[in-house]
Structure 1
Amino acid sequence: MDDSVPNTSPISSSVLKWIAIFTMMIDHIGAVLIEPLLYNPSSSVVGGTVNWQTIYTSSRLIGRLAFPIFCFLIVEGYVHTRSVSKYAFRLGLFALLSEIPFDLAFSGQVFDWSTQNVFFTLLLGLLAIWAYDTLTLPLLRIGLPIVMALFALVFQTDYQIYGVVFIFILFVTRSNRLKQTILGAIYGFAQITASLAFIPIYYYNGKKGRGNSKWLYWFYPVHLLILAGVASFIFSS
């Protein structure tokens, strides 16, 4: 961590998680509940003075802040975890548990093999930095992260190669917060407002903060199930 970052900042990993969760939820509300309205103008919900296009666009732009923070937290989790294998197992488990809720929310199907949820991307990113950090043979040290990125592309995980590379960039620059912030923000321009996530990331104080983070894993599939249920009720009536 760059010594120029004050450790008196109130932004702990817990605060970052709340920011990521809140912006992610806004993004998913826009994608699951508002976007369909734009393609169904005859719906009784549409009408009046509400500009659904503006609301939808705003929700997606706000939502772009979530992923860079999750990527940053994966790096922090890797650095501080007592067992990377258990960390990877937990991500893999929730990737599997979240797939049906993800498919129901975004495609209305129980199984949709065209795209996979973000937990798979975070897992592949974790495995990429794990290989890079622990292996000594250059071919494997560089080759395996590339393989992880290609897996993300082939299996169409959320954010695909972009997501795995994002985690890798934040990992290799982790010793200098200013460099990490600048490079992360530049890379985040591909997602427009994603670069704004590096304002709170820069002021991260390196502390865990209050609260048990394990519930975060459950929040992802549960909120997607709720959104899928709400969408089914609205658009099937």
Structure 2
Amino acid sequence: MAAQNRQNTVSFSGNALKWIAMVTMFIDHSAVVLIENRFLGGQTAAMDYALALSQPGPWWKLDMVMRLIGRIAFPIFCFLLVEGFVHTRSVKDYAMRLAILACVSEIPFDLAIFGVPFYWDYQNVAFTLLIGLGAMTAWKKFEGKAVFQVLSAAGFCLAAMIVDCDYGAFGVFLIVLLYALRENRRWQAIFGALSVLWENSAPLAFILIYFYNGQRGKSHGKYLFYAFYPLHLLILAGIAKIIG
């Protein structure tokens, strides 16, 4: 009976969370690239329900729903980054992969989101994850020295602001928070959800994260996200170009 209860308990593996994050990210980016940029003149319904619901036609409502779904993705990626950092054999190799991803993805990101191959005022989320990885490395290095941990985290948050990457200092702060609370899933989920209240539906991601079972899953798909991120942006940019 106990074994049966464990089997019936809701849980998510790392790969399950990764798939959920990728699918919701694709939905979110589809809304931005194909609806907001093409049909709404660059305006977003994600943060203004009253505006979206008051507008005629389906595009505003569809955009609002898709963006609300998409808000789930980033907290999950931050959580998976923390898990990856904790379990990686080489932080240096992990950082190198993220750095390559960030650089390779920048042109696809700029093409999809801004319609130009180079947009220097805003960088893709892989840069945020890379800076967050650096922040966790510093936090671990200064273990037992709270003042230095806080100062280093603040420094990396400032770096994210200077680079002006997606989610910026808020994203790096979330990564450090999830790492600092990694030993207590309940507090990790509660404070993680509180830290992203400004992102509408983003706190819902922590319901899924709370039920993470600590397992990677049957199919590791180690490089799946690395390929998916720039490719899906290129595909969306191509569709947007065809739509005109």
* Same structural fold, with TM-score higher than 0.5 when normalized by the shorter chain: yes
Task: Give the C-alpha shift of residue 66 in structure 1.
Answer: 0.2
Aligned pair count? 223
Aligned to 1:39, which of 38, 41, 44?
A: 41
The residue aligned with 1:175 is 183
Cα pair distance change 1:75/1:6, threshold 3 Å: farther
Find the residue that maps to 1:158 and give its secondary structure: coil
The residue aligned with 1:144 is 152
> 1:128·1:148 contact (CA, 8 Å) conserved in 2?
yes
Alignment-mate amino acid for residue 179 of structure 1: W
Asked if 1:125 corresponds to 2:132, the answer is yes
Give the 4+ runs in structure 1 shifted more than 3 A. 5-10, 135-142
Find the residue that maps to 1:170 and give its secondary structure: helix
TM-score by length of 2: 0.87
Query: Is there any run of 5+ residues in structure 2 with no aligned partner, and where?
Result: 1-5, 43-55
Find the residue that maps to 1:110 and give its secondary structure: coil
Structure-2 separation of matches of 1:111 and 1:162: 24
Find the residue that maps to 2:200 and give its secondary structure: helix
Deviations 1:94-117 (A, max 9, x none): 000000000000111110001000
Task: Give the C-alpha shift of residue 142 in structure 1.
Answer: 3.3
Structure-2 separation of matches of 1:56 and 1:174: 34
Query: Is there any run of 5+ residues in structure 1 with no aligned partner, and where?
Result: 41-48
> 1:75·1:167 contact (CA, 8 Å) conserved in 2?
yes
Asked if 1:156 corresponds to 2:164, the answer is yes
Structure-1 separation of matches of 2:142 and 2:96: 19
Find the residue that maps to 2:231 and give its secondary structure: helix
Alignment-mate amino acid for residue 122 of structure 1: L
Cα pair distance change 1:69/1:7, threshold 3 Å: farther
Cα pair distance change 1:178/1:7, threshold 3 Å: farther
> 1:124·1:152 contact (CA, 8 Å) conserved in 2?
yes
1:67-78 equivalences under 5 Å are 67-78=74-85
Q: State which drifts further: 108-117 or 129-138.
A: 129-138
> 1:181·1:202 contact (CA, 8 Å) conserved in 2?
yes
Structure-2 separation of matches of 1:7 and 1:218: 33
Deviations 1:195-220 (A, max 9, x none): 00011100000000022221211100
Alignment-mate amino acid for residue 222 of structure 1: L
Structure-2 separation of matches of 1:97 and 1:7: 42
Alignment-mate amino acid for residue 70 of structure 2: G
The residue aligned with 2:237 is 228
Task: Give the C-alpha shift of residue 144 in structure 1.
Answer: 2.6
Cα pair distance change 1:6/1:183, threshold 3 Å: farther
The residue aligned with 1:98 is 105
Structure-2 separation of matches of 1:89 and 1:7: 39
> 1:6·1:203 contact (CA, 8 Å) conserved in 2?
no
Percent identity over the alignment is 48
Structure-2 separation of matches of 1:210 and 1:227: 29
Structure-2 separation of matches of 1:167 and 1:193: 18
Asked if 1:25 corresponds to 2:26, the answer is yes
Structure-1 separation of matches of 2:84 and 2:78: 10
The residue aligned with 2:200 is 192
Output the aligned Cα RMSD: 1.9
Cα pair distance change 1:214/1:14, threshold 3 Å: same
> 1:173·1:179 contact (CA, 8 Å) conserved in 2?
yes
